């Protein structure tokens, strides 16, 4: 599956308090979370972006609190894929579990800018900067984890495969 | 094959003789935990993956602590979802407001975690229980929802970074200062995906409360878990609270570490983490004059009886500076009660502190002490991210209870020796 959209660029160590401040955690309603995504650093983020746009960040994206509301908020706001140099570990797991596509690439975040038009192939991990033609390849994701995202998250995946079929996944 | 203590606990729970860093394993979970913020999402997942009983109603802890006593209608609804689930599934370790406390303070206090256990919690500070020689780590709500049904999860075996603390501590230097210093050394991603093993003669001397403070903040370096070898201090703590037999896992000589860092503590002063990162650490003497509006003593990092006692020692016979709000929140109902019996609460109140009910309080910007625009606070909690305790233009300085108490007296960041 290919995602093509405008890049919204963030720096290093974007923590989950920045993604969705705790004062909004009295709700897990997807629309509420989307509305309050990045409320403190980019108020109105959801209204600025178009569905399928691409969030590009630096090192350690999603650090801090384990709140699953963070990847949910990003997904509900309409972001099609997050590309970061790397992710904090709880966020990484949560993103797959809620079906938010994420990819790790050292090079892409350093070479694309806010506003760049970028195309991402979620299956192959190919990232293309449509403005410059530059091409990058994200760290490959094991098949079973791609299947979780493709299914729309762990719940849908488990419904399809059954709890006992989880194996080492 | 020589293994670290983290690897030993993971191997044991995967029914394997050994594991190596990078192995993907399926593990049996001894205790699964969630709170009033993370449980509702986990319960939704649990209900969606099939109508079934929980894997074991005695191995699940559901703790209302983040937005309780409920701060608004939405929080009350969330707490209600968890309460009704606990009743319906006869969850043994559900503790209502009035018998409860902060999850990470409460679980060890109730003897629910012992050495060798594997604990998964839907809260990033679940790494706290590593102070008991257990493997414990935080996950999101979906992972926890599936664990509620199966009692199992998958984990990648982390490489271990060992930190050895040697030497003698200066006056007023505590576990909080050691972990802040360590975070300053490692950075906020310095232990990403790793186990952090705290060791050395300094750790062996630390009482449990200060060990919990250290493992609590392992996540602030991105670690999967923090861990300390169980010793006599650990076993005495556990024996008073649990009848189960601990599984004491000690790292083998020759175990493979990703890195070993030696820290000589002799010259380490009390440490302060400046805004907006727990790794933005300076020794107290290098912190400029920072005037304050609020001081918070509490949280799963420093809400222990020892922490309140330390604050009371400093505040005894003194007053909180004019214009400063000192908020103290005991970590659990038991700690609150003991602090009353020992006269600690009276001392704090006489000094001008307000005492909050045992809960997370303002630590995560929930309630009971939110900061306004431009306000500055010293907090004994674990995070000082932008907007963590309130307005995005407020500032949080992390420190030990001793520094917090002294700062409350003078109105700016200071140590007890400046009083």
d(CA A55, CA A6): 8
B123·A66 Cβ contact <8 A? yes
Q: What would the two tokens of residue B90 be?
A: 């006869």
Residues in chain A with CB shorter than 8 Å from the CB of B141 are: 68
Model confidence at A160, pLDDT cuts 50, 70, 90, reads confident
B140·A64 Cβ contact <8 A? no
A159·B48 Cβ contact <8 A? yes
Quick one: closest CA in B to A156, which residue?
B49
Instruction: Examine the pLDDT at B156 and tell me if it is beyond 60.
Output: yes
The pLDDT value given to residue A24:
96
Please tell me what DSSP assigns to residue B247. Answer: -
Place of tokens 């007053």: B319
Tens-digit pLDDT profile for residues B369-401: 999 999 999 999 999 999 999 999 999 999 999
Which among A60, A65, A163 is the nearest to B222, CB-wise? Answer: A60
Answer for the pair A158, B49: CB distance below 8 angstroms, yes or no. Answer: yes
Domain spanning B272-418, CATH class: alpha beta
Quick one: closest CA in A to B392, which residue?
A40
Please give the backbone phi and psi of residue A56, each rounded to the nearest 5 degrees, phi first.
-120, 130
Model confidence at A168, pLDDT cuts 50, 70, 90, reads very low
The pLDDT value given to residue A141:
85
Q: How far apart are the first and last CA of chain A?
A: 22
The pLDDT value given to residue A145:
86
A and B: number of Cβ contacts within 8 A: 133
The pLDDT value given to residue B26:
94
d(CA A44, CA A36): 8
Q: Is B188 touching A (CB cutoff 8 A)?
A: yes
Instruction: Examine the pLDDT at A84 and tell me if it is beyond 50.
Output: yes
Tens-digit pLDDT profile for residues B160-217: 999 999 999 999 999 999 999 999 999 999 999 999 999 999 999 999 999 999 999 9
Model confidence at A163, pLDDT cuts 50, 70, 90, reads low
Share of chain B above pLDDT 70, in %: 100
Tens-digit pLDDT profile for residues A137-152: 998 888 888 899 999 9
Query: How far is the alpha carbon of B365 from chain A, nearest alpha carbon, in Å?
Result: 6
Domain spanning B5-263, CATH class: alpha beta
Q: What would the two tokens of residue B331 be?
A: 């970590």
A168·B366 Cβ contact <8 A? no
d(CA B62, CA B60): 7
The pLDDT value given to residue A165:
42
The pLDDT value given to residue B403:
98
Q: Is the dihedral of CA B270, B274, B276, B279 positive or negative?
A: negative
- Mean pLDDT, residues B77-89: 98
Which among A27, A97, A163 is the nearest to B50, CB-wise? Answer: A163
B154·A26 Cβ contact <8 A? no
Optimal mutation site among B51, B140, B363, interface A, most CBs of chain A within 10 A: B140
Residues in chain A with CB shorter than 8 Å from the CB of B25 are: 168
ipTM value = 0.95
CATH 3.30.499.10 intervals, chain B = 5-263, 272-418
Q: What would the two tokens of residue B370 be?
A: 């939110």
Optimal mutation site among A17, A37, A95, interface B, most CBs of chain B within 10 A: A17
Tens-digit pLDDT profile for residues B336-348: 999 999 999 999 9
Answer for the pair B145, B45: CB distance below 8 angstroms, yes or no. Answer: yes
Optimal mutation site among A65, A145, A164, interface B, most CBs of chain B within 10 A: A65
- Average pLDDT in chain A: 93
Chain B residues 390-409 within an 8 A CB cutoff of chain A: 392
* CA B39 to chain CA mean position, Å: 18
Please tell me what DSSP assigns to residue B346. Answer: H
* CA nearest to B295, candidates B390, B222, B376, B232: B376
DSSP class per residue in A2-29 = EEEEEEEE--S--BHHHHS-GGGTT---
Q: Is A25 touching B (CB cutoff 8 A)?
A: yes
A17·B364 Cβ contact <8 A? yes
B140·A15 Cβ contact <8 A? no
Tens-digit pLDDT profile for residues B99-112: 999 999 999 999 99
B189·A41 Cβ contact <8 A? no
Q: Is A58 touching B (CB cutoff 8 A)?
A: no
Chain B residues 197-236 within an 8 A CB cutoff of chain A: 219, 222, 224
B192·A64 Cβ contact <8 A? no
Cis before B210? omega within 30: no
The pLDDT value given to residue B49:
86
Place of tokens 């990033």: B124
Q: Is B24 touching A (CB cutoff 8 A)?
A: yes
Domains of chain A: 2-166 (3.20.19.10)
Share of chain B above pLDDT 90, in %: 99
* CA nearest to B229, candidates B258, B253, B252, B197: B197
Place of tokens 């107290």: B284
**DSSP 3-state of A59:** coil
């Amino acid at each position: 599956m290919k995602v093509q959209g405008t890049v919204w660029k963030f720096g290093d160590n974007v923590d989950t308090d920045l993604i969705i401040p705790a004062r909004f955690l009295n709700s897990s309603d997807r629309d509420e979370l989307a509305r309050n995504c990045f409320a403190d650093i980019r108020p109105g983020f959801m209204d600025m972006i178009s569905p399928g746009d691409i969030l590009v960040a630096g090192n350690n994206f999603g650090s801090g609190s384990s709140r699953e509301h963070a990847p949910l908020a990003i997904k509900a706001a309409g972001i099609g894929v997050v590309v970061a140099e790397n992710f904090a570990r709880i966020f990484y797991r949560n993103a797959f579990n809620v079906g938010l596509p994420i990819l790790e690439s050292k090079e892409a975040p350093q070479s694309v800018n806010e506003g760049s038009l970028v195309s991402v192939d979620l299956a192959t991990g190919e990232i293309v900067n449509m403005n410059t033609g530059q091409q990058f390849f994200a760290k490959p994701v094991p098949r079973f984890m791609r299947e979780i995202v493709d299914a729309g998250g762990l719940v849908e995946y488990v419904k399809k495969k059954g709890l006992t079929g989880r194996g080492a996944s | 094959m020589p293994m670290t203590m983290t690897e030993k606990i993971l191997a044991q729970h995967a029914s394997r003789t050994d594991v190596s860093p990078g192995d993907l394993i399926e593990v049996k979970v001894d205790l699964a935990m969630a709170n009033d913020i993370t449980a509702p999402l986990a319960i939704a997942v649990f209900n969606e993956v099939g109508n079934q009983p929980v894997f074991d109603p005695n191995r699940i802890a559901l703790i209302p602590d983040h937005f309780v006593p409920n701060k608004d209608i939405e929080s009350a609804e969330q707490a209600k979802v968890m309460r009704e689930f606990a009743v319906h599934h006869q969850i043994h370790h559900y503790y209502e407001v009035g018998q409860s406390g902060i999850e990470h303070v409460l679980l060890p206090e109730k003897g629910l975690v012992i050495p060798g256990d594997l604990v998964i919690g839907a809260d990033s500070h679940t790494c706290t229980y590593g102070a008991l020689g257990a493997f414990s780590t935080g996950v999101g709500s979906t992972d926890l929802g599936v664990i509620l049904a199966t009692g199992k999860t998958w984990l990648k075996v982390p490489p271990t970074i060992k930190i050895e603390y040697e030497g003698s501590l200066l006056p007023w230097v505590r576990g909080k200062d050691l972990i802040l210093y360590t975070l300053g050394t490692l950075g906020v991603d310095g232990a990403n995906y790793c186990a952090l093993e705290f060791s050395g003669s300094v750790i062996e001397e630390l009482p449990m409360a200060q060990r919990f403070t250290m493992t609590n903040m392992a996540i602030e370096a991105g670690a999967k878990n923090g861990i300390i070898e169980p010793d006599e201090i650990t076993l005495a703590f556990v024996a008073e609270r649990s009848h189960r037999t601990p599984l004491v896992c000690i790292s083998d000589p020759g175990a493979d570490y990703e890195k070993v860092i030696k820290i000589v503590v002799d010259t380490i002063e009390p440490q302060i983490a400046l805004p907006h990162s727990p790794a933005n650490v300076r020794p107290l003497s290098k912190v400029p004059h920072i005037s304050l509006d609020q001081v918070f003593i509490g949280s799963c990092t420093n809400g222990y009886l020892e922490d309140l006692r330390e604050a009371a020692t400093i505040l005894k016979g003194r007053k909180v500076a004019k214009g400063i709000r000192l908020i103290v929140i005991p970590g659990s109902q038991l700690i609150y009660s003991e602090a009353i019996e020992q006269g600690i609460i009276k001392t704090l109140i006489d000094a001008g502190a307000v005492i909050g009910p045992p809960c997370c309080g303002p630590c995560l910007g929930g309630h009971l002490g939110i900061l306004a625009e431009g306000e500055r606070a010293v907090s004994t909690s674990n995070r000082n991210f932008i907007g963590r305790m309130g307005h995005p233009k407020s500032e949080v300085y992390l420190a030990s209870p001793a520094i917090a108490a002294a700062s409350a007296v003078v109105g700016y960041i200071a140590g007890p020796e400046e009083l």
